[in-house]
């Protein structure tokens, strides 16, 4: 164990840099994935059949195919067509497209639980479709989807660990480097797992506080 601790100290600058990259990637894809999910959700409510159909196909495609395939297609596949993207760019695009699909599905599920009479009343009052979405639908589905959306943030953090497969220098990539140096694979990966667990615990605590803050009296999300 002493050898591992010495390695962790020796590699601490790289580990800290990798951890920063992991957190940066998680934050960016959580934000872009949230706004992307809202946009995709809005399209699922379009009055145009073709838009709704293609939006549903988009959601089904990204939910039904592995994230790693999307990253590999862009990082290793696109260069065959002369398109070269950095690992960071590929991660942002790939994760955003993937997370947007999941978030849109969560919002759509919450939408099905809304009181449709309230929406019909808004229509009779002369509200436009965008106004109904912005003022009535979105605030309610966001509140109802808080548990699902926060769980997605946790999943985002864990999914960053696959980014090292396209040469992105995240936290797990640095731990992988240590493991390949000292050959203490079990201890090194266990340490990495504990770090991820600690980060997830922080997100869970923050999420629970958020849920209590936005909950309505007598109503549980």
Q: Is residue 219 part of a domain?
A: no
Residues 212-216, mean pLDDT to the nearest whole number: 65
How does residue 210 score in pLDDT terms, banded at 50, 70 and 90?
confident
State the CATH number of the domain containing residue 192. 1.10.3720.10
Q: Would 75 be classed as within a structural domain?
A: yes
**Residue 140 near residue 114, CB atoms below 8 Å:** yes
What is the span of the domain harbouring residue 152? 2-214
Domain-embedded: residue 220 = no
Domains contained in the chain, number: 1
- Which pLDDT does position 33 carry in this prediction? 96
pTM beyond 0.85: the answer is: yes
pLDDT tens string 43-58: 999 989 999 999 999 9
Reported as a pLDDT band with limits 50, 70 and 90, residue 163 is very high
């Amino acid at each position: 164990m002493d050898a591992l601790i010495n390695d962790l100290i020796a590699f601490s600058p790289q580990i800290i840099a990798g951890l920063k990259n992991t957190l940066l990637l998680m934050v960016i894809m959580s934000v872009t994935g949230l706004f992307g999910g809202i946009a995709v959700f809005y399209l699922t409510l379009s009055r145009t059949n073709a838009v709704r159909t293609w939006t549903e196909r988009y959601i089904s495609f990204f939910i039904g195919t592995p994230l790693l395939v999307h990253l590999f297609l862009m990082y290793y596949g696109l260069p065959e067509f002369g398109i070269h993207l950095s690992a960071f760019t590929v991660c942002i695009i790939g994760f955003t497209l993937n997370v947007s699909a999941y978030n849109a599905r969560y919002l759509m599920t919450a939408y099905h639980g809304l009181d449709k009479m309230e929406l019909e009343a808004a229509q009779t009052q002369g509200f436009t479709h965008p106004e109904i979405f912005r003022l009535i639908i979105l605030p309610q589905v966001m509140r109802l989807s808080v548990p699902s959306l926060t769980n997605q943030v946790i999943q985002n953090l864990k999914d960053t660990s696959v980014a090292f497969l396209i040469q992105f220098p995240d936290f797990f990539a640095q731990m992988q480097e240590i493991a390949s140096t000292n050959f203490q694979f079990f201890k090194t990966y266990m340490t990495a797992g504990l770090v991820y667990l600690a980060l997830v615990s922080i997100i869970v605590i923050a999420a629970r506080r958020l849920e209590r803050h936005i909950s309505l009296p007598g109503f549980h999300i």
